[in-house]
Amino acid sequence: AIIDVGEVLIADTITIKAEPKNILADGGKNSIITATIKDGSIVISNYSNEITFKIISDTSTYQDAKLSFNSGTWGIGELLTVTGEQYGSDGEAVIDLKPASDVGICTIEVTTVNSLGTTIMKTIKVGFYASEDHIELKAFPSKMLVEGDTCTVTAIVVDEGGNQVYTYEEDITFTILVGWPKTAKFTMTGTSSLTTTLINGSIFIDLIPQKVAGTVTLKATSFTGMTDITGYLNIPVITALTDLELALEPHISYVGNQVS
């Protein structure tokens, strides 16, 4: 909610968002950092005090990430101050973060001093990653038994070298392309699709087998802010499992946008 008139609002909260939360190291795409000043949950649209931004840590090798505003740039430890006149009359200050030249995590601190002289502070982290290449999907067990126990599928975002991109924390959507609803369902929703958020570049979800044997084909997709990355996985659902089959390493399947 935005309030323009009426009661006097005292700033006590800063909310920060970064879009996207992860950007390509040494790439041409910035992250847009938006700081919003609030009294509780109410945006103070006529807030006019200075809002400051500062990179307080940068784990990349050269620590060369920079804040950007009105054609100026500020490196680690340098204070960027945005005045009320500069950010307008909507209670929000918007700046850019330029990526570091290699992988790492940048922490940005945002502060303001309210009308009572109280300093309010909030931080946000933005990740810099090597070029993400695809999503690896692993299932354990690698096969499911008809009407048996659940199967846990782990999704891991990796770069071209197969290294996990730990700073990648975007949404990921899992879809059962083949096998729903008679062969398997998502345990959490019972549906053919499920959207959740990656944490440190990975996440796991559960599938539950149904009454019909066959092959479940699973697809995972995530939008990086520039393009979609995908992964595919085939999981057999059979009528009998041996102990050896239960112990097999999970099967991984991904080739561009094709199931293999």
pLDDT of residue 260: 32
Cα gap 3→45, rounded to integer Å: 6
pTM: predicted TM-score of the whole model, two decimal places = 0.63
If we measure between CA atoms, which residue out of 83, 84, 51, 54 comes closest to residue 67? 54
Per-residue pLDDT tens digits of the chain, which is 260 residues long: 555 555 789 999 999 999 988 888 888 889 999 999 999 999 998 899 999 999 999 999 999 999 999 999 999 999 999 998 898 778 899 999 999 998 889 999 999 999 999 999 999 999 888 778 899 999 999 999 999 999 999 999 998 778 788 778 899 999 999 999 999 999 999 999 999 999 989 999 999 999 999 999 999 999 987 789 999 999 999 987 554 454 454 444 443 333 33
Q: Is 256 left (phi over 0), alpha (psi -120 to 50) or beta?
A: left
Q: What domains lie within the chain, and their CATH numbers? A: 2-129 (2.60.40.10), 132-247 (2.60.40.10)
Specify the 3-state DSSP secondary structure of 86: helix
Q: Are strands 72-74 and 184-186 parallel, antiparallel or unpaired?
A: unpaired
Placement of tokens 């204070």 in the chain = 79
Cα gap 10→115, rounded to integer Å: 7
Residue 195: Cβ within 10 Å count? 12
If we measure between CA atoms, which residue out of 147, 151, 82, 140 comes closest to residue 111? 82
Structure tokens at 23: 């950007």
pLDDT of residue 6: 58
Exposure of 200 in the CB half-sphere (CA atoms within 13 A): 2
